[in-house]
Structure 1
Amino acid sequence: MSRSRESARRAIIEAAWRLVDRRGVVQLVAGVSVRDIAEEIGISPSTVSYHFGSQEGLAWAMIDSLVEERDLEPLRVLTEMLGSDSIGLDASELVRLAAQGDWDELVRPESAVFERRLMRTLAATGSSADGDRIAARLRDGVWREYLGSFTALIDAVCVSQQLRFVEPFTSLEVARIATATVERLLHQYMIDPESIRPDLAADAMVAFFSAVLKPDHARLGIDELEASMRSLSRPDEVDPELLEWRRHVAAAAAPLFDRPANQVSLTDVAAASETSVRMVADRFRSSNEVAAVSVHRYMKELRAAVERRLDQDIELALTDYLCEIARLARIDPIVWGALGLERQRAVFESGPGIHVDVPLDLAVQAALRAIGVNGTDGERTDLSRLVVDTVLSYSLTRPAVAPHVVAALALRLVNVPS
């Protein structure tokens, strides 16, 4: 299409819109004739017909012009700016900055013209035979693109501030709610500008986003927790070959512990693991310790429990982990009971001991740090051991209590929601 023809089309469309604006009709071109439009810009009616064929063609061109006028570039620029870690603002300040900028843009005279025209077009969806088609054009050309850009802006703020939405909201749903709220305020402003103070929309958005956002502990701590889970079988405190040997022997002897550990001798352990009695006696103080170390064979299941919902929420991952400990302890109470006794014994001994052989506490400690439980590393170590010991104690002595209840009770010790 030539430049002169495109210019003529735009002039005719704008003339039609001006007449609709002045006459206030519901239907886009109802009450506006081709002659009216031609007189508005000083051309012949045949010129209007030449470019658009009919009033229906002109009406669709007017709708297309609305779609084309929606400028999303300021939103994209704001997304890049707010997504930068170097901007130096907290989440509420970022929300206020974005919301105030959006409101200031909406109340500009040029934007007010666009909003009035959009409202008239929306009204046509309910009273026109082409209502569904008009709605589809606006949905695809205006709302879908705008909501996509607005959602990207929200996601950028969440990533830079390490935040996420409370359930059940998604960033797209929040974008819809925020847009609807601001649009309603804008409609009131268009009717009575004095009734809406300049920063009301920004205040409303700060309050709304404060209610639906919370720290994304999964993003804050997922790397650390995954590293801790990977290290469950590779701690640095002891000779790795000795550690691997102890775990191998204990796993081989595990079938023996279908009866109490005190009924299993170290000779039985040596025979089951095809190892000399001397070596077993040198490296284990009792068959109870062998039974305790054999719990390490469950680490694969515990890692799977952590990873199941780790990408959703670190509190959920921690709860799943503790629930799995409780479940496994009930399935195999003899070896888990032996582990509980060895953990109690370790309180009075120096060195890593059973906490390295079966490092249940590492994942809990990393999760507590990521969640933001206050204290030093040493204090969090003690807390993590207390949490695990509580889960073991409840699971072994109160089998009627459900695993998820046991996990919730244990997490109350450190004020972690479950």
Structure 2
Amino acid sequence: MTGTASRRTVLSAALAAAAGAGGAAPSAAQGAAAAARTVDNHFWATQGDWSRGATAGVRLVTGTRPGVAIGSSVRRTTYRDPHTGRTSPWECGSWTSPSHRPGAPATEIVVSWNAHTPAGTWMQVELTGIYSDGGAMPWYVMGRWASGDGDIRRTSVDGQGDGRTSVSTDTLSVDAPASGLRIASYRLRLTVFRTPGTTRTPTVWRVGAMASAVPDRFTVPASAPGLVRELKVPRYSQNIHIGRYPQYDNGGEAWCSPTSSQMIIEYWGRRPTAQDLAWVDPAYTDPQVCHAARHTYDHQYEGCGNWPFNAAYAATYRGMNGVVTRLQSLTELESLVRAGIPAITSQSFLKGELTGAGYGTAGHLMTVIGFTAAGDVIANDPASPSNPAVRRVYRRREWENIWLRTKRRNAAGKVVSGTGGVCCLYWPESPTSAQRGALAALGVH
């Protein structure tokens, strides 16, 4: 049931420690303003957005889903896939974003993208930035991705760092946030690849990032219930897939991310075709969950819990969008559910910290689908023995704290990271006005 936290640094920061180093206490107004700026979402997705970037060998795509695709004046390169050992030639072009300055300097950044990568194509996303002291960050690879696995193996890249920041799977983090160092601005670079001599091309219609600087906290203030609603989201258990396709993160035992993704994809009326599922053993129930695991698998991380890869997988379905973000309160999550948008949330907790779960985890994803009259959280928890058992009701105060805290103590009493409100959001190309408004309130467009 562990999904992400046990093998990488979970999104967390140390602003509280840094603030405690000296200086006058902030006023209530200043504190409220700072809290409002702890998360910054910024995405390039409109025709105007794409036109403001720098292009080299790519063209702008117009229409209902503007984006970038390979154009003329491409350059040639080679890529050695570390997971297959193959070195292959490719034609490629690139698009580089303007610099974006988050509302407050960040300690962590997670990039998301949505794209179509037909056979014979793939893409890479990189990030660079400027530190709060004026120093320059190197270009970091934030993902090499294709929807399939016939040309390259989708992968994160380990071992990236400059002694000030480093990349852990899908998260760029300041190594010592208590020092006061922050990321003041960043740029993204897309590189799109195709088989030489063909006219194939990836098309990227969304790229951006969530930059955050959330204070360290073992507990968060309790929120007041504000919604009674339950969304009709399909229920899938990861545990019925235990032992199936162990090459993808040991089989269903670790498939909380793709199982959660598949639930929401189908909530929006999308699902893989019979042709898509032809590779799955016909004796297996819910073959679409096996399909999701294969198509979210990160060959470097050796798991299906790469957040941007899950968002990108969701966006391979007709008219879908997907991003990784973090929310600052359960009230924000209620606003999404009120508009009809479920969310995939990440949490870590000891057995006994979440009444009714029956397990503890260093990192696990579930799908929040509603709230009871008492304000308790209704979740489709894939760590369940069967599909009917997936629907759970968790106590509001317990769930709120394990989701939003950034620090916790593990079973050995050691202080480790909490997940700090991380979530994935998927929604259709043409949302309702209420859904558009709920997303816009978070800075997601």
Report the TM-score when normalising by structure 2: 0.20
More strand by share: 2
Structure with higher RCO (Cα < 8 A, 6+ apart): 2
Larger Rg: 1
